[in-house]
Structure 1
């Protein structure tokens, strides 16, 4: 099933380029529309909030349809978004067309993972899931830095043109590369909702939300943070996004292997970066070489966050993989929205340098959730 996983990964690149490609161009977008950076950040937080509020329900509604058709429908809407956004429409329309594909983003992710893991042994499922979600790390090393670099040389609309181009390639790959994939057995809604009463799953959900909020408290304002606190040019920021992604591709692969051995420890290890990175950023101040080194480490810790979050949540509900995955996507994006919004408020009050410490606070709370779940499970089996 590696072919299915790699095609799912390609589609993921298109999906994530649309969601996070805007991060590197937020300052240019804010300048074009004559709005503050916090208001421009709504392009990211609103997208994430729609996913958070509708993801599980949309996934349940789509759970009985042919997986290939669902993936094609989702990717087609992402293509429309890229095309319309590239024309620099009024800000309200730009926001609207960015919100539309958010309704189907968690559906795409859940269906792609379900398709990739459908006919593999239990010990290979995390690896297949890692390939699909590896599209996130690959995006950070390819389309996001490329879009940021070209936007610095030309215009910010180029970023959306790249999003559209990647989505066309993904659409073609799904259309030609995947066979029809009808659902063999549709689980009842009741059997899937049952996981919402499990304490371990509830704690895992809280951990997911807090961990993603921790990372995106700073990452959402990556470009603004580096230009204002580290005096980097737009071009230099694109190089840093590339470096960020390179280390992330390796760590995403490594995390997929480590998750097969111990999910809680792997998740906690990479999550610890939310506390380590702010300290390193503080002490690297004034040294460009040190800043570059810290950004490489930052990318290493950050990249597997969605993979770790999904694996951690699914480990508490292995019998409802697709629904658990959609909840992981939804609460992860709620973390993106809340992390971006809370951090934006702190930026307004104290400046962009505070964002990494906001992330550390969320990160400590997420680590506490891992500890609490482990305590409950030991108590339950003891």
Structure 2
């Protein structure tokens, strides 16, 4: 049902605003707490690491609970976290409350997607999942850049105030518009864990990990990169985030349509950005028009990455949507952690200008996984043809 997909999308905006809302204010947080920007980057990478380590297990444990209650609980914790963070607590407490919602983030995403596609056929399901994932782009175009802009003209805590407001709206919409949704038939843990023995699924998981690592080695430090490598100030960076997001909304919509046509080719097309962007960003130099064009292309190719990764993984095990998606979220966030860590290390040792080249290396690894899966699938099809002929 489209209504449920749009409700899931709104919650996704709250989830993504909380996770990535710190990207534009990392330099200000580092200055406030008198720490390096690489240490401030742990506010993002620790969040992602918790998701990566706990996501699939908590999703499995909560797979039998009423889906409405699961979504309400998750968004409530996101709201609590944002409220505490807006009070500028000591850094250790800020770090602690930052990781709390991370435990339920993959559960929310998997549940929202499951609610959105319930009763839909495979072709329709990809479009409905696309609607939910548009929440990522909307967060990038509206809440994240607005929070960054507000923080640049007022105080950095205002970013967390925006996060609180978005979570509160999402909570109210889920409470009033989503009916109780008890799980009628709970799948056994064994049947869900079986997907971990399938080579194509494991290769798809590796592709997801490499692709997200590639993108986040630079995107995690978007504000720092544009400031140090391109000489942009706070307001200009918020405008670039806004442009990035505007393009991203359109890009997610296009990707949703394309995924219904061909999952592998769509994923490969958008993944090409990890290889193209280092060259575009390098040759754009200090030219503002060239940088604006480069950032627009970056936003277009980057924005559907989570949607592509989830759909690519689920396409290898179509009968295990929730668990496969929680693994997609977990390994994607493991990629966020590694990308953020490597990006922070590069800024400290060599300089922000070199960050996109980390993305080039991991992007090539991701392409290798797509080729490997295609080879395995073709071999499997040939074996089936041989068996059917006999």
State the match for 2:84 in structure 1: 84
Distance 1:72 1:325 in 2: 19
State the match for 2:7 in structure 1: 7
State the match for 1:202 in structure 2: 202
Asked if the contact 2:150/2:158 (under 8 Å) is kept, the reply is: yes
What is the CA deviation profile of residues 187-234 of structure 1, one whole-angstrom value per residue up to 9, with x for unaligned ones? 000000000000000000000000000000000000000001111000
Residue 379 (structure 1) shift:
1.4
State the match for 2:191 in structure 1: 191
CA RMSD of aligned residues (A): 0.5
The reply on whether 1:357 has 2:357 as its aligned counterpart is: yes
State the match for 2:370 in structure 1: 370
State the match for 1:177 in structure 2: 177
Q: Which range moves more in the overlay, 63-72 or 338-347?
A: 338-347
Q: Secondary structure in 1 aligned to 2:261?
A: coil
State the match for 2:385 in structure 1: none
Residue 87 (structure 1) shift:
0.4
Residue 312 (structure 1) shift:
0.2
Q: Secondary structure in 2 aligned to 1:257?
A: helix
State the match for 1:66 in structure 2: 66
Residue 346 (structure 1) shift:
1.8
Q: Secondary structure in 1 aligned to 2:184?
A: coil
Asked if the contact 2:84/2:97 (under 8 Å) is kept, the reply is: yes
State the match for 2:331 in structure 1: 331
State the match for 1:130 in structure 2: 130
| Unpaired runs of at least 5, structure 2 | 383-390
Distance 1:199 1:98 in 2: 35
State the match for 1:251 in structure 2: 251
TM-score, normalised to structure 2's length? 0.97
Distance 1:148 1:100 in 2: 22
Distance 1:189 1:366 in 2: 29
State the match for 1:49 in structure 2: 49
Residue 342 (structure 1) shift:
1.4
Q: Secondary structure in 2 aligned to 1:64?
A: coil
Residue 286 (structure 1) shift:
2.1
Pairs within 5 Å for 1:214-225: 214-225=214-225
Pairs within 5 Å for 1:302-313: 302-313=302-313
Residue 380 (structure 1) shift:
1.5
State the match for 1:107 in structure 2: 107
Q: Which runs of 4+ in 1 moved over 2 A?
A: none
Distance 1:264 1:161 in 2: 39
How many residues are treated as equivalent by the alignment? 382
What is the CA deviation profile of residues 219-268 of structure 1, one whole-angstrom value per residue up to 9, with x for unaligned ones? 00000000011110000000000000011100100000000010000000
TM-score, normalised to structure 1's length? 0.99
Distance 1:121 1:332 in 2: 26
Distance 1:122 1:243 in 2: 32
What is the CA deviation profile of residues 297-341 of structure 1, one whole-angstrom value per residue up to 9, with x for unaligned ones? 000000000000000000011111100000000000000001111
State the match for 2:387 in structure 1: none
Distance 2:286 2:17 in 1: 32
Distance 2:176 2:245 in 1: 29
Q: Secondary structure in 2 aligned to 1:92?
A: helix
Distance 2:184 2:355 in 1: 46
What is the CA deviation profile of residues 108-154 of structure 1, one whole-angstrom value per residue up to 9, with x for unaligned ones? 00000000001112210011111111100110000000000000000
Distance 1:119 1:26 in 2: 42
State the match for 2:386 in structure 1: none
Distance 2:58 2:84 in 1: 24
| Unpaired runs of at least 5, structure 1 | none
Distance 2:343 2:195 in 1: 31
Distance 1:224 1:182 in 2: 45
